[in-house]
A and B are shown apart, each in its own frame.
Chain A
Amino acid sequence: MADTGILESLLRHLEKVDDGVDSQAVAALLGVDHQVIVGAVKSLQAIGDVISAEQQTSKHWELTEEGAEIAAQGSHEARVFGAIPEDGLPQSELMKLPSGKVGFSKAMSNKWIRVDKAHEGGPRVFKMVESINDLVREKLLRVQQGKSQLEEKEKNELKKRKLLTEVTVKSYWIGKGSSFSTTITKQETELTSEMIASGSWREKKFKPYNFESMGVAPDCGHLHPLMKVRTQFRQIFLEMGFTEMPTNNFIESSFWNFDSLFQPQQHPARDQHDTFFLSDPALAYEFPQEYLERVKTIHSQGGYGSQGYKYDWKLEEAQKNILRTHTTAVSARMLYKLAQQEQFTPVRYFSIDRVFRNETLDATHLAEFHQIEGVVADYGLTLGDLMGVLHQFFTKLGITKLRFKPAYNPYTEPSMEVFSYHEGLKKWVEVGNSGVFRPEMLLPMGLPEGVSVIAWGLSLERPTMIKYGINNIRELVGHKVNLQMVYDSPLCRLDS
C-alpha cells in the first residue's frame, strides 16, 4: 500500500478537477516521482471504485545522462574553450581534460580555437574568439525544462550525439470513481482473532479477495488411477454378492493354468512365445492325484460325454511352472475346491489381479496386466443368465447397450464376446469375453452334472485408459508413470 499521505494528496487534487488528470501531471505538481503516483493509483483501485484510471501512453524527449551533464556543465567544446587561458595551453595538457578529446575537435570545427603546431615546447592551443554561444547546452536546457520544442532536425542531431532520447511513458488518466471520497480507510487483509475478540472487525474494511486466482494445493497423497478403478470394480462385484478369490499366486503350474481348463497341451497359448515359463522353480510336483488322472483321461481319451482331444497327454507338460496367463487358473482351483465340498453350494466369485503374457509389447500391451474375472456356479444356469448377469454388471459401469457375438475359447462353450455400443466412435466395440465352462473342465473336478458355471473377464487397464483419456499404457502402469497425472486424476465413478 502506497503512503497514505500521497493517496490523500492525490484524492484532494482530484476533487478539484472536473474531468480528471494525467498521472504525470500530478507527479510534477506534487513533486514526486511518477512511479509513486502509479503505485498510489493501484492502491486506490484495489480499495474499490474510489477512482477511475485509464492507462494511456505518451512519448517525449528526455536528456540522456551525458545530455544532463552538458545541460549542467556546458558542452564538451565549451568546457574546452573555457579551459584555455589567454596565453594558450599545450595540446597535450588539453587532451588530458575530461572533455578534451570530444571538445577539442568540436571546438576546432566551430572555429573557436586554433593550434599552433610550430610553437616552441610542442603544439599549443589558443582561443580564436573572445566569447562563445554554447548552443548545444541551450537546446538541452530547453528540452529539460519542457519549454519550447526543438525542431526535428535539431532533435535528431542531439539524438545522434546520444544526448537526447525519446522515451515512452505509460501514465494514467485519473478520474473520480463512483464511490469517490477524499479520505481513505486503511483496509485489512485478513480477519484476526483480535478483531473477533474486540469486535473491531465491525468498523474495518477488508481488502477484497481476488477470486480469479487459484487456491493453494492441499498437501496430500494420492491414489493411483488404475487402483481407483480397481476399487470401483471390487465395489461393483461386492454389491452384486460376489466373493473375492485368493489370486495372490502369480506362479502357477501349467496344470492349473491350462490342463485343468481342458486346454490341450499343443495349444499355441502354451508356446514359449506367449507364456513365461520358469527356470527356478521349474516344475510343480504336488497335484491332487485322482483329479490329475481324470484330467489326463479327458484330454487323451475323452469321457463324460466328450470325445476328448485324443493325444498323448504328458505329466511333464502339466508340471511346468509359469507366470499365470489368466486368473482363471485360480477359478479352476476354487471350483475344484468347491467340488470337494460334501454338498454343492452355489457361489459367485470374482477377482482382479495381475496376469502375465510373453507377448510383443506396444502402446496398449504390456507383459503384465490386470484381469477382472467374474464366475457364477449354480444348478441350471443358462446362456440367458450369463447375458443377464453381464447386463447387470455392465450397467453398473454405465454401459447399457450390449450385444453378444459367438466366439471360441478352449475352456468355455458356448463362448461369447461382449460388445458395447460406443457413442463416441459410433460403433460396437468389444468390452469383454465370456462363456459357460466346458463340462470337460467341470466334471473331472467332481462338480455335480447339473451344475453350470458361467464366467466372464475383461482387462482393468483398458477401461481405465478410456476413463482417464490415456493413450500409452506406460504412462499409466509401471515406473514411467507421470506423477502429475496421478496427482491430477479425478475420482473414479464408473457409471457417470
Chain B
Amino acid sequence: MPTVSVKRDLLFRALDKEYTDEEFDELCFEFGLELDEITSEKDIILREQGDVKAEGASDVVLYKIDVPANRYDLLCLEGLVRGLQVFKEKIDAPHYRRVPASSGEPQRLIITEETVAVRPHAVAAVLRNITFTPERYESFIELQEKLHQNVCRKRTLVAIGTHDLDTLVGPFTYTAKPPGDILFRPLNQSREFTATELMSLYKTDSHLRHYLHIIEDEPVFPVIYDSNGVVLSMPPIINGDHSKISLNTKNVFIECTATDLTKAKIVLDMVVTMFSEYCEEPFTIEETEVVYPDGRTILYPELEYRTEILSGDLINTRVGISEDAESIARLLTRMCLRSEVQGDRIHVEIPPTRSDIIHACDIVEDAAIAYGFNNIVRTTPRTYTIGNQLPMNKLTELLRMDLAAAGFTEALTFALCSQEDIADKLGHNIAEMKAVHIANPKTAEFQVARTTLLPGLLKTVAANRKMPLPLKLFEISDVVLKDETKDVGARNNRRLCAVYYNKSPGFEVIHGLLDRVMQLLDVKPGKREGYHIQAADDATYFPGRCAEIFAHGMSIGHLGVLHPDIISRFELTMPCSALDVDIEPFL
C-alpha cells in the first residue's frame, strides 16, 4: 500500500479547514485512507541517521497517509485534497478537458519501428502556462516517483519523463538505438556520456541501479530526440539535462514510454489531471499527436470519460441499504463519480482519474463508502447450511488429543527447510527423493518443502536440550511430495511423526506408541488385515534397529532407533527412537 507524505499545514490550508489529528484520522478512516504516522522531516532523519544529521532539518509536521493501491488519483496532495473536498461536498469534481494547441499545430511524438523490440508504447501531453511554486514543484516530482513505484511497477511497465518544452523544438522522435550510438548529457551531469558509459556509471547509483536491468540486456535502448537531435530522455533510466524542468518552467512536455499501453495512458492521465490545476486555464491539457510506425495518429492524453448505467436497486441490494435513486446519485457524486438519475436508471460518469472503476461492483463500493460503511445495518444472511469437518482434519484432531494423552507433546515445525535437513542429515540422497524444490529461496532454510516431519522434531529436541528428559514429541501435519498424477505435479501427505529422546533409546516406548495409535485406529495386530512390523534397512536408523510398518498389507512408514550419525548431525547427544507413518490410509 503506497504511503503519501504531505505537510499538514499545507493540507489543511488546501482543505480550508483545521482538523485535530483525531478528526483527520476519522475522516481518513471513513474515506478508506489511513493516517499511518504523524512525523516531521527532522523526526525521520533523527530516527534513521541520528541527531547530528537531524540538526537544522525541518520540523514542519508531516502526515503519512496510506492510500489504497489502486487509487493513483490520491498519490499527491492535489489529488488527496480534491478527493476529500468533493467527498465533503465543498467543491464539485473538476472536468478535465483536452484542448487543441493554441498555435493550431499540436506537438507530435513520432514512434519508430525500432522501439517495438524493447519498449513499444509512448504517449505524451503538454501542460501549458503552468505556475510552479516550490511546494507544487516538489509535489510534481514526488507524484512521478509514486507512480513509478506503484502503477509503473518500478518503471518496468511505464516510465515518465517531464521536460521544459521551451528548451525543445518538436516534433519529437521516439526510437531505439544501440547504446554506443546514444550520446547525451544526462540529468545533473556536467558532460556527455554514451548510453554504455551511463549503464556502468549508474551501477553504483543507489536509486537508478534498480532500473538498469529493464533494458541492460537489450541490443537497442529506447531514446527520445527533439527535431534538433537533443535527447529528452533515455527511458526508463534517465532524462537529459538539457530539457530539465525548474520552478520557472511555464510549459511542460510529458512523455510516458511503456511496455503496457493501458498503464501508460492511465499514468499520463494521472499526471496531467493532477497538475493541470496550476495551468492558466485550470484542468485543460494541450493535446499531443502520437504517430505510429504504421502511420496511424492518436491524440493524447486520452482523458476518457465513460458512462455506466445502473439501477439504484443494484446498489441497494448489494450494499444492504434502501436509498432512492436521487440520494444514491448524490453519494456517487461525492466520490468524484458525477451521477444523475434519468428515468429509473442512474447514469454514472467515470472520470479519467478513476481508472480503478472497471465494473459496477466498483461503483457499488463507492456508494457504500459515501453512505458510510459503519452506517450500514449489520444483518444475518438467511443462508441455511450444515457444517462438516474435512475427514482428514477430523482424524488429525482426534489423534492429536490421544497422542497428548499418551504422554507425547505436540510440536509445530516449518513446512519449508533446507535440502540438507531432509536428505544429507538423514542419510538420504536428495536426487532420489520426491522433494519439491523452491526456485527463489532467500536463504537455505527455504530450499525445499519437507518430505518428512522428522528433521523438524529433531531440531525441536535440539533447541530444548536443557529440558528434563525424556523428551517425547509428536507432530501430525503435512509433508509435500512430487506426484505426476496431480495438476500441479505435487501433493500433500498427512503424516504422524514421534520421537523419544532419553538416556536409553526406548525403542519399546516408540513401539508402544505405534501399538497405541493402531489401537486408536482400530487396526489389530496381524499380517494380513491388521498391522505388523518387519526388519528393514534405512540409513536414518541404526542397523538392526529399524522396522518397516505395514498396515492392511501396505507399507505406511518406519520406526526404530536413530543412527548415531543422524543424532550427531542434529547436534544431539542422547539415543533417540522415532516413528514416522502415513495416516492417510486410515481415513
Q: Could you list which residues of chain A lie within 8 angstroms of chain B, going by C-beta atoms? A: 219-224, 226-227, 231, 234, 237-246, 248-253, 266, 268, 272, 276-287, 302, 304-311, 321, 323, 346-348, 354, 356, 358, 366-368, 376, 378, 380-385, 387-389, 391-392, 403-408, 413-416, 436, 438-440, 452, 476-484, 486-487
Task: State whether A278 and B320 are in contact (beta carbons under 8 Å apart), knowing that A241-B387, A358-B446 are contacts in the complex.
Answer: no
Residues of B contacting A477 in the complex (Cβ-Cβ under 8 angstroms): 412, 414
Partner of A408 from B70, B153, B406, B416 at Cβ < 8 Å: B70
Task: State whether A284 and B383 are in contact (beta carbons under 8 Å apart), knowing that A276-B446, A416-B373 are contacts in the complex.
Answer: no
Taking the nearest CB of chain B, how far is it from the CB of A211, in angstroms?
A: 25
Residues of A contacting B436 in the complex (Cβ-Cβ under 8 angstroms): 251, 278, 280-281
A–B complex contacts, Cβ < 8 Å, 15 sampled: A243-B387, A250-B449, A251-B436, A251-B488, A284-B488, A321-B489, A323-B449, A358-B442, A384-B378, A413-B361, A414-B364, A436-B318, A476-B412, A482-B464, A486-B410
Residues of B contacting A246 in the complex (Cβ-Cβ under 8 angstroms): 390, 392
Residues of A contacting B343 in the complex (Cβ-Cβ under 8 angstroms): none
Taking the nearest CB of chain B, how far is it from the CB of A334, in angstroms?
A: 11
Taking the nearest CB of chain A, how far is it from the CB of B363, in angstroms?
A: 10
Residues of B contacting A223 in the complex (Cβ-Cβ under 8 angstroms): 400-401, 404, 410
What 0/1 readout, one digit per residue, does chain B (426-446) give for beta carbons within 8 Å of chain A? 000000000011111110011
Evaluate contact between B492 and A483: CB separation under 8 angstroms: no
Residues of B contacting A452 in the complex (Cβ-Cβ under 8 angstroms): 318
Evaluate contact between B392 and A220: CB separation under 8 angstroms: no
Q: Identify the closest chain B residue to A479 (Cβ).
A: B459
Within 8 A of A (CB), among B453-470: 456-457, 459-460, 462-464, 467
Task: State whether A347 and B464 are in contact (beta carbons under 8 Å apart), knowing that A382-B318, A385-B379 are contacts in the complex.
Answer: no
Evaluate contact between B29 and A405: CB separation under 8 angstroms: yes
A231 to B438, CA, bound (A): 30
Residues of B contacting A307 in the complex (Cβ-Cβ under 8 angstroms): 358-359
Evaluate contact between A284 and B260: CB separation under 8 angstroms: no
Partner of B68 from A376, A387, A408 at Cβ < 8 Å: A408
Partner of B410 from A227, A241, A415 at Cβ < 8 Å: A227
Evaluate contact between A244 and B439: CB separation under 8 angstroms: no
Evaluate contact between B390 and A284: CB separation under 8 angstroms: no
Partner of B383 from A309, A348, A367 at Cβ < 8 Å: A348
B247 contacts the other chain (CB 8 A): no
Evaluate contact between A378 and B488: CB separation under 8 angstroms: no
Evaluate contact between A221 and B464: CB separation under 8 angstroms: no
Evaluate contact between A220 and B404: CB separation under 8 angstroms: yes
Evaluate contact between A248 and B487: CB separation under 8 angstroms: no
B262 contacts the other chain (CB 8 A): yes
Residues of B contacting A406 in the complex (Cβ-Cβ under 8 angstroms): 31-32, 68, 365, 368-369, 373
Evaluate contact between B438 and A266: CB separation under 8 angstroms: no
B420 contacts the other chain (CB 8 A): no
Taking the nearest CB of chain B, how far is it from the CB of A97, in angstroms?
A: 58
Evaluate contact between A221 and B378: CB separation under 8 angstroms: no
A407 to B411, CA, bound (A): 36
Evaluate contact between A480 and B463: CB separation under 8 angstroms: yes
B42 contacts the other chain (CB 8 A): no
B405 contacts the other chain (CB 8 A): yes
6 closest Cβ pairs, A-B complex? A384-B320, A406-B32, A382-B320, A281-B489, A408-B68, A479-B459
B103 contacts the other chain (CB 8 A): no
Q: Identify the closest chain A residue to B473 (Cβ).
A: A483
Chain B CB count within 10 A is highest, among A308, A407, A439, for: A407
Residues of A contacting B457 in the complex (Cβ-Cβ under 8 angstroms): 479
Task: State whether A391 and B446 are in contact (beta carbons under 8 Å apart), knowing that A276-B440, A323-B438, A479-B459 are contacts in the complex.
Answer: no
A246 to B153, CA, bound (A): 35
Chain B CB count within 10 A is highest, among A239, A404, A415, A479, for: A479
Task: State whether A305 and B489 are in contact (beta carbons under 8 Å apart), knowing that A224-B412, A279-B439, A487-B409 are contacts in the complex.
Answer: no
Evaluate contact between B488 and A311: CB separation under 8 angstroms: no
B331 contacts the other chain (CB 8 A): no
Taking the nearest CB of chain B, how far is it from the CB of A200, in angstroms?
A: 38
A455 to B318, CA, bound (A): 14
A238 to B414, CA, bound (A): 27
Q: Could you list which residues of chain B lie within 8 angstroms of chain A, going by C-beta atoms? A: 1, 29, 31-32, 34, 68-71, 153, 156-157, 260, 262-263, 317-321, 356, 358-362, 364-365, 368-369, 373-374, 376-381, 383-390, 392-393, 397, 400-401, 403-416, 436-442, 445-446, 449, 456-457, 459-460, 462-464, 467, 471-472, 474, 478, 480, 482, 486-492, 494
Partner of A279 from B156, B414, B437 at Cβ < 8 Å: B437
Evaluate contact between B32 and A280: CB separation under 8 angstroms: no
Evaluate contact between A358 and B440: CB separation under 8 angstroms: yes
A87 to B215, CA, bound (A): 121
Residues of A contacting B400 in the complex (Cβ-Cβ under 8 angstroms): 223, 227
Evaluate contact between B410 and A276: CB separation under 8 angstroms: no
Residues of A contacting B471 in the complex (Cβ-Cβ under 8 angstroms): 483
A237 to B462, CA, bound (A): 36
Residues of A contacting B156 in the complex (Cβ-Cβ under 8 angstroms): 266
Task: State whether A346 and B488 are in contact (beta carbons under 8 Å apart), knowing that A388-B379, A482-B464 are contacts in the complex.
Answer: no
Taking the nearest CB of chain A, how far is it from the CB of B435, in angstroms?
A: 8
A414 to B372, CA, bound (A): 12
Evaluate contact between B412 and A227: CB separation under 8 angstroms: yes
Q: Identify the closest chain B residue to A249 (Cβ).
A: B492
A249 to B374, CA, bound (A): 37
Q: Identify the closest chain A residue to B71 (Cβ).
A: A408
A304 to B467, CA, bound (A): 61
Taking the nearest CB of chain B, how far is it from the CB of A322, in angstroms?
A: 9
Evaluate contact between A279 and B320: CB separation under 8 angstroms: no
Chain B CB count within 10 A is highest, among A222, A323, A405, for: A405
Evaluate contact between A383 and B381: CB separation under 8 angstroms: no
Residues of A contacting B390 in the complex (Cβ-Cβ under 8 angstroms): 244-246
Taking the nearest CB of chain A, how far is it from the CB of B494, in angstroms?
A: 7
Taking the nearest CB of chain A, how far is it from the CB of B223, in angstroms?
A: 24
Evaluate contact between B478 and A250: CB separation under 8 angstroms: yes
Residues of A contacting B401 in the complex (Cβ-Cβ under 8 angstroms): 223
Residues of A contacting B157 in the complex (Cβ-Cβ under 8 angstroms): 266
Evaluate contact between B361 and A407: CB separation under 8 angstroms: no
Task: State whether A346 and B383 are in contact (beta carbons under 8 Å apart), knowing that A234-B393, A408-B71 are contacts in the complex.
Answer: yes
Residues of B contacting A221 in the complex (Cβ-Cβ under 8 angstroms): 403-410, 472, 474
Residues of A contacting B385 in the complex (Cβ-Cβ under 8 angstroms): 241-243, 346-348
Partner of A253 from B386, B416, B487 at Cβ < 8 Å: B487
Evaluate contact between B487 and A287: CB separation under 8 angstroms: yes
Task: State whether A219 and B492 are in contact (beta carbons under 8 Å apart), knowing that A307-B358, A479-B459 are contacts in the complex.
Answer: no
Evaluate contact between B478 and A278: CB separation under 8 angstroms: no
Chain A CB count within 10 A is highest, among B32, B384, B491, for: B32
Evaluate contact between B487 and A285: CB separation under 8 angstroms: yes
Evaluate contact between B320 and A266: CB separation under 8 angstroms: no
Q: A243-B386, A385-B379, A478-B413 are in contact. List 20 more A-B contacts (CB 8 A).
A: A223-B410, A224-B410, A224-B412, A245-B390, A276-B438, A276-B440, A277-B439, A281-B482, A323-B416, A354-B415, A378-B383, A384-B321, A384-B376, A384-B379, A385-B380, A404-B374, A407-B68, A408-B32, A414-B361, A479-B462
Evaluate contact between B359 and A279: CB separation under 8 angstroms: no
Evaluate contact between B438 and A414: CB separation under 8 angstroms: no
Chain A CB count within 10 A is highest, among B1, B463, B482, for: B463
Evaluate contact between B467 and A484: CB separation under 8 angstroms: yes
Residues of A contacting B409 in the complex (Cβ-Cβ under 8 angstroms): 221-222, 224, 483, 486-487
Partner of B389 from A224, A244, A250, A282 at Cβ < 8 Å: A244
Task: State whether A405 and B359 are in contact (beta carbons under 8 Å apart), knowing that A268-B153, A280-B482, A481-B463 are contacts in the complex.
Answer: no
Residues of A contacting B153 in the complex (Cβ-Cβ under 8 angstroms): 266, 268
Residues of A contacting B459 in the complex (Cβ-Cβ under 8 angstroms): 479
Task: State whether A478 and B388 are in contact (beta carbons under 8 Å apart), knowing that A276-B446, A406-B32, A436-B361 are contacts in the complex.
Answer: no
Evaluate contact between B439 and A278: CB separation under 8 angstroms: yes
A415 to B426, CA, bound (A): 47
